[in-house]
Structure 1
Amino acid sequence: MVSVVLEVTCSLLVWLCLYACFCYWNQHQSYEWSCRLVTLLHGVVVTCLSGYVALLDGPWPLTHAGSPNTPLQIHVLSLTLGYFIFDLGWCLYFQTEGDLMLFHHTLSICGMIMVLGLGKSATEVNAIVFVSEITNPLLQTRWFLREMGRYYTSLGEVVDFFFVFLFLVLRIGGGALILYAMVTSPDPSWLLKAGGLAMYMVSLGFMVEICRFIRRKMLKKYHSWTSRRSTNAPVETNGRLAAR
């Protein structure tokens, strides 16, 4: 357990140092810019690592929920836990996030601490990290595109599409399968099962926000299309097309 605490502490220090370096290199940008660079880097690294553990290294989370932690799973969760502690502290200090995101971070931290302390169930928690973090790089890319004035382009449309698609398929669909495996398996702790259910409720809360975003975007596109159509429509005068 001492080695795990040391690993998590080193992870926290690494993310803090990266943030400090980004702030130094981007002095003309806001603190949020540097923090989101750290978030983007974490999302890419942890998605690759947790995906490798869940899909290749094993054990398979849908059939081995509650199994003992492997060394690689411990390393990945320690790295992620250090980041979440950093990000929660940053969000509380700058007060940039709402209650739902703060609740998500708190649940994530508590779940990873419990799994690392118990020495089991890292299989399913690592899978949850994978389906949760895979959309994070796209979310940060979307923010950077907005800041650079390039969001309302074809690239912004592609980023939005893949973000929504991956969120619904992996975080909602895949998350439901992982939650079912956790709840039906006798091995995971009941407290961890309750935490997994709470995390899924948070994901559903995010899904509601995404559905509202999609609705606003589709209505905006529809109004833009109808406006262009009415502008380009030929004007009739006394039954004849008006000259243009």
Structure 2
Amino acid sequence: MEEYIVKWVILGVLCWTTTFMFVRSILPKRSFDFCNRTVSTIHASLAVYLASLSVEDWKCPVCPLGSKSSPQQMETLAVTVAYLIYDLICCFFDNHVSLDNSIHHLVSIVGIGAGLAYEMCGSEMVAALWITEISSPFLHMRELLKELGYRDTDLNLAADIAFAVIFTLARMVGGPYLTYVTLTADNPLLIKAMALGLQLVSTFWFYKIARMVRYKLVKRRAPKKVT
């Protein structure tokens, strides 16, 4: 791994931590989770933007397969692995640790770290970054709206549905295709394992999201009790 990329990761962890502290200082009445999700929304938007810029050919976003990563792709991935390290540590400080989320973070950190170390698979990895982060702003918006007092409102339901639709299209349509091309290309075993692991976690989350949306829609249709 290039020395400057290691510096990017270290600097990135410090920058994301500083951003959280800044958000926390200007929103003192908001919860730890609210401030962290605000930082996560900033990262998701930045990650999608940087991943889009680093695509070499939009006619084939995952091409060239198994090739040497470009400097722009390496920098984009370094920004995200720094965020993932920050966010994983942040979850422990908030005492809000979930097994599936921790596994997702660890798989992503190891997978992206391997890609940075090998300096290859940049096309596949920025595509994976785009797919995984495109729905994240809506994921965090759902929780932010609840703390702002919009729980069980039409606005919150719209955020739920938008998140579910975008997640499904990205993770369950684009995700399997990206997993297939990553597994069949001449990529290191660790990269292939990361792609498969990420898709398995996405499938598990899809199951949970489908149940959530079904519950909310049934709840909205249920007749209100007359008191």
TM over 0.5: yes
Consecutive unaligned residues of structure 2, counting only runs of 5 or more, are none
Q: 1:52 to 1:155 in 2, by over 3 A?
A: farther
The Cα shift of 1:64 comes to 2.3
Scaled by the length of structure 1, the TM-score of the pair is 0.87
Q: Give the secondary structure class of the aligned counterpart of 2:65.
A: coil
Deviation digits for residues 179-229 of structure 1, max 9, x if unmatched? 0111111x21122111110110000110111011022112212323xx58x
- Once the two structures are TM-superposed, the CA of residue 43 in structure 1 deviates from its matched residue by 0.9
Letter in 1 for 2:49: C
- Offset of 1:59 from its aligned partner? 8.9
Shift of 1:133: 0.6
SS in 1 for 2:120: coil
Cα distance per residue 1:126-183 (max 9 Å; x no partner):
1111111111101111111111112333322321221111111111110111001111
1:34 aligns with 2:26: no
CA distance in 2, matches of 1:216, 1:197: 29
Q: Residue 61 of structure 1 contacts residue 178 of structure 1 at CA under 8 Å; is this kept in 2?
A: no
Letter in 1 for 2:86: F
Q: What is the TM-score of this pair, normalised by structure 2?
A: 0.93
**Quick check: 2:128–2:178 contact (8 Å CA) kept in 1?**
yes
1:121-200 alignment, distance < 5 Å: 121-185=121-185, 187-200=186-199
How many residues align? The count is 225
Deviation at 1:61, TM superposition (A): 4.5
Going from structure 1 to structure 2, the CA distance change for 1:144 and 1:154 (only over 3 Å counts) comes to: same
Secondary structure, counterpart of 1:126 in structure 2:
helix
Residue number in structure 1 paired with 2:205: 206
Alignment gaps of 5+ in structure 1? 232-244
Describe how 1:1-244 pairs up with structure 2 within 5 A: 1-54=2-55, 60-185=60-185, 187-224=186-223, 227=224
Alignment RMSD, CA only?
1.8
- Identity of matched residues, %: 27
| Residue identity in the other structure for 1:24 | S
Question: Deviation digits for residues 68-87 of structure 1, max 9, x if unmatched?
Answer: 10011011001101100000
The answer to whether the Cα contact below 8 Å between 1:65 and 1:123 also exists between their aligned partners in 2 is yes
- Higher-Rg structure is 1
